[in-house]
Amino acid sequence: MPVFIDQKLYNKYYNGFGNDLLWPLLHYETGRTIYREDDWAAYEKVNQIFCDKVLEVAKSGDVIWIQDFHLFLLPELLKKKNPSLKLGFFLHVPFPSSEIFRQLPHREEILRSVLHADLIGFHDYSYLRHFCSSALRILGLDTSELEINISGHTARLGVFPVSIDTQMVVQKSKLATTEAYAKKFKSDRFTFLGVDRLDYTKGIELKLLAFKQLLKKYPEFRKKVRLIQVAIPTRSEVPEYQALKQQIEQMVGEINGEFATFNWVPVRYIYNTVALGPLIGLYRASDALLVTSKRDGMNLVALEYVASQNEKSPGMVLLSEFAGALSLLNQTLPLNPWNADETADRMQEALKMPRQERQNRWKQMSNFLNKYTATDWARSFMNQLQLEKGGFRPGPAKLEVSKSSIQMIKEHIDRKGKETLHIFIDYDGTLVPIQDAPEKAIIDPSILELLKKLNGKNREITIVSGRSADFLAKQFENSGIRLVAEHGARVFEPSKKRWEQRITTGRQHWYTTALKIMNDYALRVQGSHVEKKSYSIAWHYRQAQPEYSLYQSLKLQEELELVLSNEPTTILRGKKVLEVRSVEANKGFYISHYLDALEHPAASIAIGDDATDEDMFAALKGRGLSIKVGKGATAADYYLSDQKDVIPFIKLLKKELAL
């Protein structure tokens, strides 16, 4: 059913409130925001028009999926008219830090409305975290980061990274016409490709600065490289976008004027839309995709580029840390687009990367995109909303330490294949009880012996913990068990007998700053202390006065979110602990990477107890079973009532499955 809107009203709603206020603010461009009261009135009116149109056809219990920031007010409008409707809301752009969102006029109305949805989805965990922080700071609503309760209504929260039609891109890339385009665009020179809408959030000017720095810093690459920048027109009638276009064209002219020779032009600039066939030809003809977004909800260009590559000699993706796609493509070269010198170094790294490494990186990303498509994204959201039941699926099923519970596990293993059973186990709160002093959480020798016996032929145990490598190494010395420290930042492979680093982003820009702030709070709150790790810092307050330390933890979280808003970090609340970690230090990222690398499908189980383990549970959706230790909101499939049940459960699992 079409929704007809008067042109003048639409302009105030879409171009006014949407593009002049919401778009820049949600992308951290607060200096560009323009607020006009009549734009807000138009935004309210158009959302009401959509509500009226939906209610003309919606029946009791129907499911409505609302898309993006243009309809922030629609959930509340619909729920007030028909509470039986099941509403999903998905945000396709970033949700900013609470310090940014607090600057938005009518912030309370917008937050309250979105919270009338039954399921609220985001591309990236950091966006969800910022949303929760805003709900706390602005509305005073606490959250488990899985749900928020408001006026008797529970809004569930989730992370659902959008994907692409992978098979369509792959098939299109193999057409003869696409190959013809690729041959036409191919050059003997190493080609960096940029494909962006001409929008200030895309950082095209930062890309040009970095390319210029590459030519200056590494003169040996002059005449051997080129940059093709496709700038897709958008809002071309707006003066600000016209000025941006002029700036980009001037920068292109300056670079070509300074470095071009009679047979080499460094930058080829295309200001036009490009059809899909020629675009995929460009993808295949280029050696690296360069994405320098200042903020990007996802950036599907990066996904399309990976899907379109020639497996014999695939190109690399250099990806901004501020693009949501970084959470999906873990084998890219991440970069800070604001640092031209660092980006130039990344480009030099791509220029010199051996073909075998490019193939290995591409294969992992390609395998993932073949398994996780746009259809999977939509299905995962709608499954969570439970279309056929008109509501959410029940919470996790309770596991008893009984043969019947083990039978459910056995059925999962039989379905997935018997080559190997992979068991991922958290440490604190799972294998060992939570202790007031973390250093007291020592593993019992009998438990270690049980794990060693369980870790053998056709079964692999992996300890996945936020603990430091030194601590885990001491607890599991000579055990032959794989260890994952700092949420995935470092991995110990028993066969290699050494620790390996999995983090590619540097910590020099944020670690010292975060450490100073957290040390200040440790001095302020008696009984609290700071734990330093290689790629994370944790502030523990279990031994501090409860009410005061909770208050200080919220203040610390707010301060860290503000100071580190542009850094490649995540901030997590655990059980009496607040932790800053590298964005790549993520248990879910590690498990996805590990399972993607397996040659054969295998059964897998993850067991954990706190917020960091939710990343594991999310990564195993559709791939394995997840078990939360303790009650409460969770993405896990099952739960055990208490930490005391974990070891008896593992013992019974070993016995009943003859492991």
- Report the CATH number that the domain containing residue 543 is assigned in CATH: 3.30.70.1020
The domain boundary residue, chosen from 159, 180, 203:
159
> What would the two tokens of residue 518 be?
């957290």
Q: How many CA atoms lie within 13 A of 109 on its CB side?
A: 12
What does the pLDDT look like over 294-314, one tens digit per residue? 999 999 999 999 999 999 999
The domain boundary residue, chosen from 139, 159, 179:
159
Residue 659: pLDDT band by 50, 70, 90 thresholds? low
pLDDT for residue 393 is more than 60: no
How confident is the model at residue 607, as a pLDDT?
95
Q: Given the DSSP bridges, would you call strands 482-485 and 267-271 parallel, antiparallel or unpaired?
A: unpaired
Shared-domain flag, residues 556 and 596: no
Which among 233, 225, 291, 294 is positioned nearest to 264, based on CA atoms? 225
How confident is the model at residue 658, as a pLDDT?
66
Shared-domain flag, residues 135 and 282: no
Give φ, ψ of 537 to 5 degrees.
Answer: -135, 130
Residue 387: pLDDT band by 50, 70, 90 thresholds? very low
Write out the residue range of the structural domain in which residue 572 sits: 511-582
The secondary structure of residue 260, as a DSSP letter, is -
Three-state secondary-structure class, residue 319:
strand
Residue 144: pLDDT band by 50, 70, 90 thresholds? low
How confident is the model at residue 618, as a pLDDT?
85
pLDDT for residue 390 is more than 50: no
Shared-domain flag, residues 124 and 226: no
Residue pair 158/127 in contact (Cβ under 8 Å)? The answer is no
The domain boundary residue, chosen from 338, 372, 406:
372
Q: Is residue 223 part of a domain?
A: yes
Q: What angle do CA 22, 134, 579 make, to 5 degrees?
A: 125
Mean pLDDT of 393-417: 73
pLDDT for residue 650 is more than 80: yes
Q: Is residue 80 part of a domain?
A: yes
Cα separation of 566 and 558, whole Å? 14
What does the pLDDT look like over 333-378, one tens digit per residue? 999 999 999 999 999 999 999 999 999 999 989 988 998 899 989 9
What does the pLDDT look like over 528-554, one tens digit per residue? 999 998 888 999 998 887 777 887 888
Shared-domain flag, residues 172 and 263: yes
Q: Helix 646-656 crosses helix 445-454 at what angle (to 10 degrees)?
A: 30
Which range, of 201-205, 272-276, 411-415, 419-423, averages the lowest pLDDT? 411-415
20 belongs to the catalytic site: no
Shared-domain flag, residues 517 and 590: no
Shared-domain flag, residues 435 and 552: no
How confident is the model at residue 602, as a pLDDT?
79
Which range, of 15-29, 183-197, 450-464, averages the lowest pLDDT? 450-464
Residue pair 659/653 in contact (Cβ under 8 Å)? The answer is yes
Shared-domain flag, residues 175 and 54: no
Residue 15: pLDDT band by 50, 70, 90 thresholds? very high
> What would the two tokens of residue 121 be?
């989805």
Q: How many residues does the chain have?
A: 659
**From 39, 118, 426, 637, active-site residue:** 426
pLDDT for residue 285 is more than 80: yes
Mean pLDDT of 189-217: 97
Residue 592: pLDDT band by 50, 70, 90 thresholds? confident
Higher pLDDT, residue 238 or 390: 238
Q: Can you list the alpha helix ranges (DSSP code H) found in 104-238?
A: 107-114, 125-139, 166-173, 176-185, 204-217
Q: What is the mean pLDDT of the chain?
A: 90
